[in-house]
Structure 1
Amino acid sequence: MEQEKNTLSVLQIAPGQHPKPIEIDNDLKALQQAVGGSIGASYPFEDPVAIVYNDDGKLMGLPLNRTLRDESGEAYDVVAGTFLAVGLGEEDFASLSPELTQKYEELFHQPETFMRLGRQMLVLPVPDENVRTETAKAKPPAAHER
C-alpha cells in the first residue's frame, strides 16, 4: 500500500499551553524538530496513540509539561518539554482520528505547574487566565504586570 499522505495530523502539547492540532511531516527529522531533539516514544494508552517526546528532555532540564497517570489516576511519570500525541498505524505513526484528537485534547487540556515540596512533587493545574498563547508570548508585559 502506497503512502498517499506525507503529513500527520497530531496534537502538539507544549508546557504552559493548551494542546493544539498541527500537521507535521511524517519523517524522523520533523518529529525531532517538533520535540527539540532525539525522540522517544511511549505507549501508555489502550487507544492506538503514542506520545513522542524529547528522549533527553529531563536531562536537558526542559520545563516539566504534563503528568502521565495510570487508570486509577496515580501519577507515574512527568513529560519534560513539548511532546506530540500521535496515532499508531500498523507499522508506523499515523494521524490521530478526529475522535482521538478530541479525547487527548481533553486529557491534556489543562497545563500543569510543578512544585517540589521536600521529596514530594506537587502538581497544580494552571488557571486558564495564566495559560500562554502564541500571541501572548510575543507581546511584552503591560506596565501593571512588570
Structure 2
Amino acid sequence: MTVVIVKPGYAPYEAEINGLDEMQEVVGGTIQAIYPFEDRAAVVCNDEGILLGMPYNRSVPGGYGGVFGPFFVCGLGEEDFCSLTPEQVKSYKKEFHCAEILIGATGNTPITMKVQPKAVGSPGQEKSRNDPPGRE
C-alpha cells in the first residue's frame, strides 16, 4: 500500500509497505492507529513511542497532541488500511513537511518550534526502514 512515512527530523516521503510486519518495522514496534483527519486516512505510530523514549516527531490535529517516533499516514478502506490517493500523498507530505522540536506542552497541546527537515535521499537508497533515507 502507498503511504507517507514521517520520521523525526526528516521530510516525509512516499513509500510502499505491505503487511503487519512491515508496518511494525516502520514504526519500530507495535502499531496504534489514530484518526485525526476528516478524510479517510489514519496516522499509524508506535503504541509505546513515548514510553520507549522515542524522539518527538510531529503534532497531529484533532486533539491528539503529538507523535513520538516514526509514523506513517495511510488510507482507510472498508475494514482495513489501504493506499493513499495521489492527492492525499501530496497533501500529507505538505502537512508534515516541517520538522518540529518539542518545547513544552499545555495539557495535551504540544508547544513546538517548526524547523526545516533534513533532506530525504532518493527512494531505493534506504538501508533500513528504521534509518532515515540516504543515511549510510
What TM-score does the superposition give when structure 1 sets the normalisation length?
0.76
What SS is found at the alignment partner of 2:10? coil
Of the three residues 92, 111, 115, the one matched with 1:126 is: 115
Letter matched to residue 82 of structure 2 = A
- In the alignment, is the contact (CA less than 8 A) between 2:36 and 2:64 conserved in 1? no
Distance 1:79 1:11 in 2: 15
Q: Equivalent residue for 1:15?
A: 8
Count of matched residue positions in the alignment of Structure 1 and Structure 2: 123
Distance 1:84 1:76 in 2: 15
What SS is found at the alignment partner of 1:58? coil
What TM-score does the superposition give when structure 2 sets the normalisation length?
0.81
Letter matched to residue 12 of structure 1 = I
**Bigger fraction of residues in helix:** 1
Distance 1:29 1:80 in 2: 20
Distance apart, 1:80 and its partner CA: 0.3
Identity %, equivalent residues: 39
Structure 2 residue ranges without an equivalent (≥5): 121-132
- In the alignment, is the contact (CA less than 8 A) between 2:4 and 2:73 conserved in 1? yes
What SS is found at the alignment partner of 1:16? coil
Distance 1:104 1:121 in 2: 19
Q: Which runs of 4+ in 1 moved over 6 A?
A: none
Q: Deviations over 1:77-107 (max 9, x none)?
A: 1100000000001111000000011111111
Letter matched to residue 92 of structure 1 = D
Distance 1:113 1:33, change over 3 A: same
What SS is found at the alignment partner of 1:69? coil
Q: Deviations over 1:42-70 (max 9, x none)?
A: 01111000000000000001000001134
- In the alignment, is the contact (CA less than 8 A) between 2:3 and 2:72 conserved in 1? yes
Structure ID, larger Rg: 1
Structure 1 residue ranges without an equivalent (≥5): 1-7, 139-146
Distance 2:101 2:48 in 1: 20
